[in-house]
Amino acid sequence: MVLLGITEGDGEKDIAYICDKLLNVRVFPDDNYKMNLSLSDIGGDILIVSQFTLYADARNGRRPDYALAAKGDIARPVYESVVTRLKESYVPDRIKTGVFGAMMEVSLVNESPVTILLDSNKTF
C-alpha cells in the first residue's frame, strides 16, 4: 500500500523519483529473510491512495495544520500522473487506486512492522 502525500511544487522530477522508488526499492525479503527484493522483483501489486494528511504539521497547538498539502486541484493531476507512470512502467493490472479525495475505509495488514517513508525532496 502506498499512501501518497502531495505538496505544492511537486512536479515531473518528483513523480519520476517516487515511481522509480516504488517499483525498485528493495523492501521485500529474499530466501534468507533479508530485505533484498523490490516490488518489480516479486511481481507484486500496488494500491496507491492519495493522503493529504501526510503533510499534517502538529508541532504547534492542538490542531494539525495542512498548509503544506497541495489543494485538490493541484494534487489530483500529480496523483493521476503517478498512477499513469506506474502503469506505463510496470504491469498495468497490478496498479490499483483509491478514489481521489473520497472518504474511504482502507484496511492494511502488515506481514511485518515495516513502513518506509519516501521523500522526493530527501528531507530525511
Q: For residue 59, give the amino acid letter.
A: R
Mapping DSSP to helix (H, G, I), strand (E, B) and coil, where does residue 4 land? strand
Burial environment of residue 63 by CB neighbours within 10 A (0 to 12, 13 to 18, 19 or more): exposed
DSSP state of 103: -
Give the cell for residue 95. 496498479
All three cell numbers of 83, joined, read 498512477
The DSSP symbol for 93 reads G
Concerning whether 53 is annotated as a catalytic residue, the answer is yes
**Cα 111 to chain centroid, rounded:** 18
Which among 53, 97, 115, 123 is annotated as catalytic?
53
Positions annotated as catalytic residues are 53
